[in-house]
């Protein structure tokens, strides 16, 4: 058992890590009055958001992970923190315990969040068990869960001015149902949208603004887009308008499905997600402008990347979400969730204080059917997870490790057979590599996830200093069979007899730290990480075959990109760009601070012979120091001028 002094020392170390920013998630706040999307670069989809007084609340989907249905709060719509997981567990079918089946791709579905007469409401459904309602007087709980007599698909709960309650729901065909205080239907569903622009209209949220009823809904899918429908009556007829159709800075991935909210100062905003591949579906924050009674998102029809923060009456400090855990508290942090309902007999934070103990309670042949797998979301643009594992309590047939969990999944783990220990790297149940251990050491396991390339790698160490790669890289996917983003997962299960255990000393995750639009000038800056764009788009790069990478494409005459905080440090005198071009004649002009001054550099772009051939161009610059706002402007003839993969700066020629 650890002594008090040991625990105190570890607590001080944790405090230092937190203060240094090494134990928290990435931030979207740029610390000078702007933010950069995504507002949380992690899997928080199907967003609904409300304001209660001066506090904003957001709910998201977690499906088969419990505790689930997280509620977050914010003072400024940019910096969010956990408040509660509104559903600790869902005991409505054995499959939620991984018994006789599973609920992968099912479970809790998109929620509707409302606050009415001093009470919070979270309405959701499951595809198999129907409708559910969570209520609480305080955001932190306690929350009460009740099963409803009817399921409402992608529900939008609405309390009208006259005291009546309605739910708008449906897929492709939308209906409205008048309900009582228990959300039981008072009559049959009334179809209000029989046929939309295309199949897949869903995710409805309902508002009443200036005498109009608005349905804020999406045409879903990776290429999804957002629409508003309005009527003078809740029962219609409704007219419809596209309010955002843009893929921001990830080609082919539309920004869609979210909610509207008004600030204390009268501004309107939308929290609305974007599919981001392996990391999942990430919330973005978009300004809303009312034009002719329609809520138009973004600016000039495009989703914003970097933008001025909402006016909420005052400024608030940066508050990144927690990630790391030393397991020194008697309860798990709100960032953790189990894969399906946990077995309480199989985990403990008190059997050995300062450690998380995982004990196998039933036999499992694979990770997907193993209970008590503890997970945490990864964050973009990269996350590195490391776990300290003490394996002396393992039995023959036990498997304990760290996974990147989706479909496919992969992990690095310790196994024990015939009293001997091995390190293994597995992918979808297939062993790709192994290393023998000479005893039950404390083992350090590591997974590195790059969410822009969707690649994850695995390593191990015996001293937490020198890590050795093990196995092959995992190509992370967002499979609809799972329907959640990839997560880091801590697990222990037995392929033979239950009863063995492992003690996890700590879990530490590091991600990008500091303002998201600050770039070291001498590093490679991927062009799609722009802050602003005009006259350009994104597309998949042909620079390195087989590599998931983007270019800035569709660059037209007069188009430009802005990078707000390029940090030149003590000096930079040269710029490099990586481009492809079909025709000669284009010029890239480099500006400092804005486009209304003279350019500080020019690069003439010759033909590379095709969009699959690239060249690296260099231009001298006047010496730049500190953090600068850099613009690239593109000048030339007709059509697409060039494609830009990356840019970089240096103090002297390379």
**Contacts (Cβ under 8 Å, ≥6 apart) of 53:** none
Q: Do 400 and 492 form a contact (C-beta atoms < 8 A)?
A: yes
For residue 17, the 8-state DSSP code is: H
What is the phi/psi pair of residue 223, to 5°?
-95, 25
What does the angle CA 173 – CA 176 – CA 180 come to, to the nearest 5 degrees? 150
Q: Do 102 and 64 form a contact (C-beta atoms < 8 A)?
A: yes
User: Per the residue annotation, which of 43, 76, 154, 202 is the catalytic one?
Assistant: 202
What is the b/e burial string over 108-139, where b = at least 16 CB atoms within 10 angstroms of the residue's CB? bbbbbbbeeeeebbbbbbbeebebbbbbbeeb
Burial of residue 1, with CB atoms counted within 10 A of its CB: 0-12 exposed, 13-18 middle, 19 or more buried: exposed
Distance of CA 394 to the CA centre of its chain: 34
Q: 33: phi > 0 → left, psi -120 to 50 → alpha, else beta; which?
A: left
Q: Tell me the CA distances in angstroms from 96 to 76, 89, 126, 284, 364, one per residue in order.
A: 36, 9, 12, 31, 16
Burial of residue 644, with CB atoms counted within 10 A of its CB: 0-12 exposed, 13-18 middle, 19 or more buried: buried
Cis peptide before 547 (omega within 30 of 0): no
SS3 353: coil
Count CB neighbours of 73 within 10 A: 18
For residue 85, the 8-state DSSP code is: E
Active site residue 262: no
Q: How far apart are CA 94 and CA 101, in angstroms?
A: 8
User: Per the residue annotation, which of 46, 76, 326, 531 is the catalytic one?
Assistant: 46
Q: What is the 3-state secondary structure (H, E, C) of 303-331?
A: CCCEEECCCCCCCCCCCCCECCECCCCCC
The long-range contacts involving 416-423, CB below 8 angstroms and separated by at least 24 positions, are: 416/391, 416/500, 421/391, 421/394, 423/460, 423/470
Cis peptide before 381 (omega within 30 of 0): yes
Active site residue 239: no
Q: Enumerate the β-bridge partners of residue 168.
A: 156, 176
Give 55's Cβ-side CA count (13 Å radius). 14
**Contacts (Cβ under 8 Å, ≥6 apart) of 266:** none
Kindly tell me the number of DSSP H helices and DSSP E strands found in the chain: 1, 50
Q: Do 293 and 210 form a contact (C-beta atoms < 8 A)?
A: yes
Active site residues: 46, 202
């Amino acid at each position: 058992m650890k002594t008090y002094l040991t625990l105190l020392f570890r607590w001080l170390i944790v405090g230092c890590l937190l203060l240094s920013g090494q134990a928290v998630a990435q931030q979207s706040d740029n610390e000078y009055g702007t933010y950069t999307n995504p507002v949380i670069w992690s899997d928080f989809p199907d967003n609904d958001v409300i304001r209660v007084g001066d506090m904003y609340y957001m709910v998201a989907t977690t499906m088969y992970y419990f505790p689930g249905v997280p509620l977050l709060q914010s003072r400024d719509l940019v910096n969010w923190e956990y408040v509660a997981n509104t559903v600790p567990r869902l005991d409505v079918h054995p499959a939620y315990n991984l018994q006789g089946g599973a609920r992968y791709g099912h479970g809790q579905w998109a929620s509707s969040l409302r606050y009415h007469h001093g009470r919070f409401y979270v309405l959701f459904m499951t595809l198999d068990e129907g409708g559910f309602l969570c209520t609480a007087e305080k955001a932190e709980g306690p929350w009460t869960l009740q099963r409803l007599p009817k399921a409402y698909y992608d529900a939008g709960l609405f309390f009208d001015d006259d005291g009546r309650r309605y739910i708008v729901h449906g897929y492709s065909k939308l209906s409205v149902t008048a309900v009582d205080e228990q959300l039981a239907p008072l009559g049959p569903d009334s179809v209000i949208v029989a046929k939309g622009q295309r199949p897949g209209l869903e995710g409805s949220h309902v508002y009443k603004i200036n005498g109009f009823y608005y349905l804020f809904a999406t045409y879903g899918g990776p290429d999804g887009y957002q629409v508003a429908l309005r009527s003078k009556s809740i029962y219609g007829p409704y007219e419809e308008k596209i309010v955002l159709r843009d893929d921001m800075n990830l080609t082919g991935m539309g920004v869609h499905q979210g909610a509207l909210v008004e600030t204390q100062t009268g501004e309107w905003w939308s929290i609305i997600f974007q599919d981001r591949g392996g990391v999942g579906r990430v919330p973005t924050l978009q300004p809303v402008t009312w034009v002719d009674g329609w809520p138009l998102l973004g600016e000039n029809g495009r989703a914003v990347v970097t933008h001025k923060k909402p006016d909420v009456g005052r400024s608030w400090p940066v508050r990144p979400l927690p990630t790391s855990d030393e397991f020194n508290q008697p309860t798990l942090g709100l960032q953790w969730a189990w894969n399906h309902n946990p077995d309480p007999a199989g985990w403990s934070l008190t059997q050995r204080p300062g450690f998380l103990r995982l004990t196998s309670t039933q036999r499992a042949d694979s990770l997907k059917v193993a209970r008590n797998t503890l997970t945490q979301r990864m964050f973009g643009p990269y996350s590195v997870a490391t776990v300290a594992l003490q394996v002396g309590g393992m039995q023959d047939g036990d498997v304990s490790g760290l996974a990147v969990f989706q479909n496919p999944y992969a992990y690095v783990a310790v196994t024990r057979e015939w009293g001997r220990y091995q390190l293994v790297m597995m992918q979808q149940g297939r062993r790709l590599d192994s290393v023998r251990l000479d005893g039950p050491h404390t083992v350090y396991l590591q997974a590195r996830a790059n969410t822009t390339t969707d690649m994850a790698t695995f390593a191990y160490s015996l001293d937490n200093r020198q890590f050795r790669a093990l196995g092959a890289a995992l190509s992370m996917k967002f499979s609809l069979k799972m329907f959640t983003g990839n997560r880091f997962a801590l697990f222990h299960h037995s392929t033979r007899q239950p009863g063995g255990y492992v003690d996890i000393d700590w879990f530490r995750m590091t991600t990008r730290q500091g303002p998201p639009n600050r770039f070291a000038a001498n590093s490679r800056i991927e062009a799609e990480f722009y802050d602003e764009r005009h006259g350009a788009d994104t597309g998949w790069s042909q620079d390195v075959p087989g590599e998931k990478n983007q270019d800035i494409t569709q660059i037209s005459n007069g188009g430009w990109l802005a990078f707000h905080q390029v940090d030149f440090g003590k000096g930079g005198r040269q710029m490099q760009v990586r481009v492809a071009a079909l025709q000669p004649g284009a010029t890239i002009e480099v500006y400092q601070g804005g486009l209304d001054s003279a350019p500080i550099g020019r690069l003439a772009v010759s033909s590379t012979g095709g969009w699959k051939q690239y060249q690296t161009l260099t231009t001298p610059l006047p010496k730049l120091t500190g953090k600068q706002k850099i613009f690239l402007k593109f000048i030339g003839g007709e059509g697409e001028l060039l494609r830009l993969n990356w840019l970089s700066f240096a103090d002297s020629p390379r």
